[in-house]
Every structure is written in structure tokens, then in C-alpha cells.
Structure 1
Amino acid sequence: MASLKRMSKKELKLTMEALTEPPLKIIVGGQDKQTFFVNKEVICSFSDFFAAACKKEWACGRANTVTLAEENPETFAIFVSWVLTKSLESAATLQSLPSREDDFHGKDGRRSAIKRGVQLVECLGISESLLCHEFHNAVMDELLTFMDILSDAKESFVICLPQVVKMIYNVSPAGSKLRRLLLDASLWMTIEALNYWLIDHQSDYPREYINDVLSDTFGRLKRHGDCAPRPFTRFACNYHKHPDQPDSYTCTGINMTT
């Protein structure tokens, strides 16, 4: 196989070997597993995990087969669709949103919003597992846009629902950009909403989240005298990862303030 040097989609040039060798076999999921066949050179150019797993030093590299037993096949399909098209919306498995603001307030609209929020959080989780910072940043931009849309529809609470918060704490480490976004969103909510979610329903939330919210709230009040701006009105790069970029790098992510 050709060199697996990380490249952006614009820089990626497929070798003759990449176009003629068998695709990488990827088995995803536990009981309800799905098998994917993806061009090895393409997926390795985006994911440090696959770049390492496909080396001949490893059995999976020699067998040209990688197993991801802990991942959700639907979420992985979104990742592969993004790798091939650089668009999240190209993934048929990503839940679409109602086209009109009023539709969010019905049971079906709210269910769709919750499912999309959960899927985006799962995508951020898989970006951590597969070591793909570009995918993380693309999903983070979409999550911020999603929250902005929900805010206009008066449904901002979705990211702070217990099932979403639990998932965020399961898929992201302490100090991660995703947890930072959740805390910013939590502190932006009104006192009444915080009362409802964190006091009346305290037992539904991870204890670590409750502690983080309280610690962050007091810390911000001490430093600034107020809590937080709406996270989706900040420059998206606040929640991005650019570990391999030089100091002179300028983020091309969306600017939510414009």
C-alpha cells in the first residue's frame, strides 16, 4: 500500500495501487454488526487510527480487515459518508430536521431533534476513537448550527437532556471540547431551566456533570460576574481541534457571529 501520510481531501491523490487493490473490510458493531468496504488509502488519509491499524505489523493490517465492535454502524456510516464527500448531509443515516420552525414543537419534530442531537454526539465520540480531528471539527460546526436552529425554535434544551448528557460524558474525556460546549450551553440556560433539569431531575444526570456545572458557574461568576454567552454565537473554532497546525494557521470553520 502507498504511504499513509495524512492529507486533506483537496490534497489527496490516489495511487494506481489504491485504485486497484481490494478495499479495506471494516466490521462494525456487536450483535447487529455491519460490514463496510472502503478504499484503504482514502480512509487512512483521514484517520490516524486506521493509518496505524492498516500497517503490516498488525494482524488486522495483514488481513486487510479491521473490527470496531464497540461502534454503532449507523454512526460509522455517517463517518464514511463524510470521508467520501466531506458532507454530513450526504449520509442517509443522519436524522433530518423538520423544515419549518413550528414543526419542532410536535412530538415527531421533538423526537427528530433529539435523535439528530444524539447522532451528532455519537459522531464526536467516533471522531475521538478514530483519531480524526477534521471530522470532529465538521461535526462540531454542524452541532453549533443545530443548536442555533433549536434556539430559534425555543427548543435549546435538547443538548441538556439527561440521555444526551450521559452520552456526552460517556464518549468524551474531561476537558474535551464537547464537554466545554455542553457546559457553555448549560450555563446559558435560564435559572428556571437549570432548576428543572439539575434540581428537580438531578438523579437523572451523571454526578460528574452536576459537579462540573456548579464548579463552572461559580468560577465564571467570580471572574466575570455573569455566566455564559450562547455557545452558538461564538466562533466555532473555540470548539475545534487543530493539533497538527502551525501557530500561523487560520481556522476556516464557521463564524456563528455573522
Structure 2
Amino acid sequence: MGPFTNAPDLRPLLPKRCHNIPTLSASFPQGILLLCVGPKEERTEFPVHKHLLCAKSPYFAAACDRYFRPDLDNCIFMYEEHPEIMEFFIDWVYGHPMFVLKPESTTSEVLLKCRLYAVANRLRVEILKNEIVDEIFQFLKANQANGAAMFCLVRLHGRIPIKCNLRSMLMDAAMDDWTNFDIDEYYKDGAFNNKLSWLAKLLGRVDFSSDFELRCVQWLSGFKNSLFYRHTPCYYHDHEETPRCKI
């Protein structure tokens, strides 16, 4: 018998193989998780090797722990996630190459990476989060003063938690380019009186005063081009569960 006869098959399991099968039964292969992504009426089912998924994500490692879920049936429902984004995440789990942001990348591609970051944040996958931060950092640095960071913030407002490092990085880059960007071109619904009130809202300040806005003016005028571009990508990394960067 050859030495690799019992080696696990690590070939990716494509979602199209299971779109029309019922939820996992006892006959489903051992060691396979079924991720049911999206609303019940439109969900997409992704079969994934459990050991690969749990090794990459503490979230899934906890979700698959029978100590916490003795009734685990190898099926995990993710109603609020989007199948197209989860497919990118699963490709990453299997080591498939993903598209890399370039200086000429479109804003839509940057937003897609931001959405993938949000998924990685919810699933506690710091390695992927830090990889995305590195890409977006280089994209923003190559596109200084063209409003890319501010545009991303406008589009992602409310989708990325305020305390995430990616949001902090976008905010720093946006402030550095603040005077070169006309937010009215992208934000026309009249919800905010001016740029500074929008900035206050974006920072998570529910109650803000004219005094706060004045401090914003003083801060922005005094620290122009001194927030984002003086840092390295490592400044915006997460390292609660991964080793710190070696600088």
C-alpha cells in the first residue's frame, strides 16, 4: 500500500456541486462542513473541508466544537453573508490566488476587498485582514489626493465597524487628502450640512457641537499630510491572535 493512500483529498469542493442537495444528512462525507450562505430563499451551499476552515478561522473552530454544540450536524447557516464574498473567502482558505489590487484598480475592486475584510473581521481571520490592509494601503499611496479613500468611506459608511483598523486607515488617508476632495460629488442626499458634520458622523460622534467642528478645522489645517503617509501598513495590522510584524 502506498504511503499516501489514506491522505485526505484537499481538492476544493465547488459550490455548484451542492446547490440542489438537501441539508446535510448522515450520508454526507465525514470531515466536510456545509456553509449555507445568504437568505433561506436564495442561499448558496458551499461544502468545505472542516479541518482547513477551522485552522484558518477561530470563529469556525468554535462553531465546530462539540463541547459548545453537542447537536452539531456539520451545517452552518450564515444568513447575513453574501455568497459572492464568501466564495472569495473560501478560495483564500484553499490557497487559490485572488486578484491583487494595483494602482490602476477600480474603486469597485477596492470596495470588494473592503467587503472581504469585513467578512474576515467577523470570522476573526487576522492573516487575511492584514493582507487586505497591505493591498489597500499600497493602492491609496499610489492614488494620493484623488479621493479614493474618501469615496470608499462614503460607500462603506456603516458597513465596517468603527474600531476596525481598516476604517482607521481609510479615515487617516481621507483626512490627508481632505482639502483636495469634493464630497458633495458623492454624497448628495442632504443628510449632512457640510463636510465637517459628515466627518463628525463618520467618526461615530452622535452628539457633536460647533466646538467639535472647530477643533476638526484646527486639526486638519495643522496636520495636513501627516497621518496616513507617515505610517507603514503594519501600523494598521491586527495582532491579537497572530505574531506582530517584524520591522
Give the alignment's TM-score, normalised by structure 1.
0.66
State whether structure 2 residue 159 is matched by structure 1 residue 171.
yes
| Conserved? CA contact 1:168–1:179, under 8 Å | no
Paired position in structure 2 for 1:133 = 126
Question: Relative to structure 1, is the Cα distance of residues 81 and 218 closer, same or farther in structure 2, using a 3 angstrom cutoff?
Answer: farther
Paired position in structure 1 for 2:181 = 193
Structure 2 residue runs of 5 or longer lacking an equivalent are: 1-5, 11-28, 193-197
In 2, the alpha carbon distance for the partners of 1:184 and 1:74 equals 29
Q: Name which of 155, 159, 168 aligns with 2:149.
A: 159
Q: Which amino acid aligns with 2:238?
A: K
Residue deviations 1:83-107 (CA, integer Å, cap 9, x gap): 221x6xx23xx5976xxx7xx5xxx
Question: Relative to structure 1, is the Cα distance of residues 195 and 84 closer, same or farther in structure 2, using a 3 angstrom cutoff?
Answer: closer
State whether structure 2 residue 93 is matched by structure 1 residue 83.
yes
In 1, the alpha carbon distance for the partners of 2:139 and 2:172 equals 15
In 2, the alpha carbon distance for the partners of 1:200 and 1:171 equals 19
In 2, the alpha carbon distance for the partners of 1:235 and 1:44 equals 30
Give the alignment's TM-score, normalised by structure 2.
0.69
SS at match of 1:251: coil
SS at match of 2:46: strand
State the superposition RMSD in angstroms. 3.9
| Conserved? CA contact 1:117–1:159, under 8 Å | no
User: How much has 1:241 moved relative to structure 2?
Assistant: 0.3
State whether structure 2 residue 231 is matched by structure 1 residue 241.
no
In 1, the alpha carbon distance for the partners of 2:72 and 2:219 equals 56
The structure number with the bigger radius of gyration is: 2
| Conserved? CA contact 1:95–1:115, under 8 Å | no
Question: Relative to structure 1, is the Cα distance of residues 217 and 165 closer, same or farther in structure 2, using a 3 angstrom cutoff?
Answer: farther
Q: Name which of 14, 23, 28 aligns with 2:37.
A: 28
In 1, the alpha carbon distance for the partners of 2:112 and 2:229 equals 18
The structure that is helix-richer by fraction is: 1
Q: Which amino acid aligns with 1:44?
A: C
Number of residue pairs matched? 214
Q: Which amino acid aligns with 1:29?
A: G
Identity, in percent, stands at 19
